[in-house]
Structure 1
Amino acid sequence: MLHYFLRRVFLLSFVFVALTILGFSLSYLFPGDRLSTLSGLTNISEAQQLELIRHYQLDQSVLQQYLAYVGRILDGDWGLSFASQQPVLPELLAVFPATLELAAYALMLSFLVGVPVGLFCAIRSETILARLFSALTLIGYSLPVFWWALLLIMVFALSLGWLPTSGRLHVLFDVPAKTGFMLLDIYLSDLTHKTAAFRDALHHLLLPTIVLATFPTTVMIRFTRNSMQSVLEQGYIKTARAKGLSRAQVLYHHGLRNALLPVIRQVGLQFSTLITLAMLTEVIFSWPGIGQWLIDSIYQRNYPAIHGGLLMVSSLVIAANMLTEVLHTLFNPLARKG
């Protein structure tokens, strides 16, 4: 297992090197002055220009510029935002928890709904309810995220008035940002109406979570159903039935454990999809996360912020895939052997 982990870390280092090369190349691809793109400063004077050239080592070779770029990334020097003239990395760290919170709850919802429904569709595949679930998964898989989000807003927010249309919390509640995760911040705060604030945060969280979880839930249902059906056709399942074990014992002790092993890897893949879909969801629901922050930066042509956002999102996706691969190998002896 240690050998596998070290090999994965070694391969992961190559992925991060490729990511840093891409990030370094963006400074050449973005239009405008390269010094402004790297630093985020505007109206650079001649004295500042000479200082910035030495700081970014633009008078050196490309390899030395790249090594200096990697050093700045590791030191947290990601440049200044054109819009706010503030460092990019603190702004990213301020909006990152909102995206991570939304994606984590959507992933949890897709797992809690998708796995049981997928198992039911595999075990009771001939029932009307299983066929109905299969049809709904096909519809949910084909739904455009923006259309589905607007439809839910129109029904549950505008027509029925049950849920809010945007934001993370009502303006009446002033919750100090300690961790960036709204529910945790409410729990740690000293608000007198903590229960009401917690309920209001859940109301704001419900619609974006459902919209974001729709696509991965349908994928999880189909993947779990196919995995369980494949396991039920294996020889050891037939042997367990021939030994006289009950259906419940066969499904729990032999079927369920083996069918869920590929699902662990699928969770990591769906988390990557969630981060991508979160950009559209955050814009529609005015959710103050990294997706909306990055879209605003694109509209503003804020190149240092775009570079930082892409670097942060890519690193998160790579780390999530790495973690799920390690967990899958940890629980699957055959994967360790391979």
Structure 2
Amino acid sequence: MTLYLLRRLFLLAFVLLALSLLAFSLAYMFPGDMLQNLTGLRYIAPEQVAVLTAEYRLDQGYLAQYIAYLQRILSGNWGLSFASQQPLLQEIGLLLPATLELAAYALLISFFAGIPLGIIAAVKPEGVISKGISALAITGYSMPVFWWALLLIMLFSLGLGWLPTAGRIGVLYEVKHVTGFMLMDILLSDSAHRNDALLNALRHMLLPTLVLATYPTTVMIRFTKDSMLEVWEQSYIKTARAKGLNRLQVLYRHGLRNALLPVIRQIGLQFSTLITLAMITEVIFSWPGIGRWLIDSIYQRNYPAIQAGLLVISTLVISVNMLTEILHTLFNPLARKR
């Protein structure tokens, strides 16, 4: 197991190194002045050119420039944003929790809704309930995210007026930034209107979370159902049923724990999908996350922000995938044996 962990950590380090090399090379692919693309400064005085050239080692070879880039990344000097002229690391620190919060709640919904529905669909695969769940999963899987989001806005916001159309919280509430996670910051605040602010934040969060959770929920339904049906045909399941155990006992004692082991690996896969879908969801609902910020940066040709956003999102997705792979190996004896 130790050798496996070392191999995985070495692979993670290699992938992150390759990712940093890709992010570094983007500065040479973007149009415009190289020094502006690296620093994020809109206007560079003539007396600053020599100093910045030496700092960024542009007068040396590519290897020296790449090493200087790694040093700046590790030290937190990521440059400035073209749009706001603020440090990129500071902007990312303010925006990333909003995206993580939205993705985390959507992932929880997908597990707590998708796994039970998948198990129910697998108990009697030829029944009416199973076919209804499968039809619902196929419908949700095939539905475009932007169309589903606009449909919910038209129904619950414009039609019924129950939920807000955009934003993270109402303008009447001012929540102090502590962790960046809205619900946690509201609970940590000492405001007299904390309960009202919490309810308002939940109302703002409901529609984008449901939209974002639709696709991974349908994937979890189909994956759990297929995994349960595969386990249900194993010899030890037939032996347990031959001993007189009823369907629920066999499901709880033998089938469920073995069928849910592969589901752990889906956390990383669905998280990467959620990060991708969050970009569209954040734009539609005006959610102040890193996905919307990155798309705005593309429209604004904010090259330093594009470079930093790519590095952060890719590192996050790769790390989560690697972590879930390691957890799956720890919980699965067969995977450890292989």
Shorter-chain TM band: over 0.9
What does the per-residue CA deviation read over 1:232-268, in whole Å, with 9 as the maximum and x for residues that have no partner? Answer: 0111111111222222221111100000000000121
CA distance in 2, matches of 1:75, 1:124: 57
SS in 2 for 1:163: coil
Residue in structure 1 matched with residue 316 of structure 2 by the alignment:
316
Residue in structure 2 matched with residue 297 of structure 1 by the alignment:
297
Counterparts of residues 182-331 of structure 1 (less than 5 Å): 182-331=182-331
SS in 1 for 2:84: coil
**Which amino acid counterpart does residue 198 of structure 1 have in structure 2?**
L
SS in 2 for 1:190: coil
SS in 1 for 2:298: helix
What does the per-residue CA deviation read over 1:78-129, in whole Å, with 9 as the maximum and x for residues that have no partner? Answer: 1111111111011001000000000000000000000000011111212212
> Does 2:6 match 1:6?
yes
Residue in structure 1 matched with residue 108 of structure 2 by the alignment:
108
CA distance in 1, matches of 2:336, 2:75: 36
CA distance in 2, matches of 1:132, 1:301: 47
Question: Identity percentage over the alignment?
Answer: 67
CA distance in 2, matches of 1:11, 1:250: 39
SS in 1 for 2:261: helix
Residue in structure 2 matched with residue 129 of structure 1 by the alignment:
129
Counterparts of residues 82-93 of structure 1 (less than 5 Å): 82-93=82-93
Say which is worse superposed, 23-32 or 193-202, in terms of deviation.
Answer: 193-202
Residue in structure 2 matched with residue 43 of structure 1 by the alignment:
43
Q: Structure 2 stretches of 5 or more lacking a match?
A: none
What does the per-residue CA deviation read over 1:167-190, in whole Å, with 9 as the maximum and x for residues that have no partner? Answer: 111111111111110000010001
Residue in structure 2 matched with residue 99 of structure 1 by the alignment:
99
Q: CA deviation at 1:3?
A: 2.0
Residue in structure 2 matched with residue 158 of structure 1 by the alignment:
158
Which consecutive aligned stretches of 4+ in structure 1 deviate over 4 angstroms post-superposition? none
CA distance in 2, matches of 1:134, 1:148: 19
SS in 1 for 2:25: helix
CA distance in 2, matches of 1:231, 1:134: 19
CA distance in 1, matches of 2:230, 2:114: 17
CA distance in 2, matches of 1:42, 1:247: 68
CA distance in 1, matches of 2:108, 2:71: 36
CA distance in 2, matches of 1:79, 1:121: 52
CA distance in 2, matches of 1:320, 1:20: 17
CA distance in 2, matches of 1:86, 1:22: 24
What does the per-residue CA deviation read over 1:18-52, in whole Å, with 9 as the maximum and x for residues that have no partner? Answer: 10110011011111001000000122122211111
What does the per-residue CA deviation read over 1:198-241, in whole Å, with 9 as the maximum and x for residues that have no partner? Answer: 11111101000000000000001000000000000111111111
**Which amino acid counterpart does residue 124 of structure 1 have in structure 2?**
K
SS in 1 for 2:165: coil
Q: CA deviation at 1:337?
A: 0.9
Aligned residues, how many? 338
Q: CA deviation at 1:299?
A: 1.0
Q: CA deviation at 1:320?
A: 0.7
**Which amino acid counterpart does residue 334 of structure 1 have in structure 2?**
L
Instruction: Normalising by structure 1, report the TM-score.
Output: 0.99
Q: CA deviation at 1:322?
A: 1.0
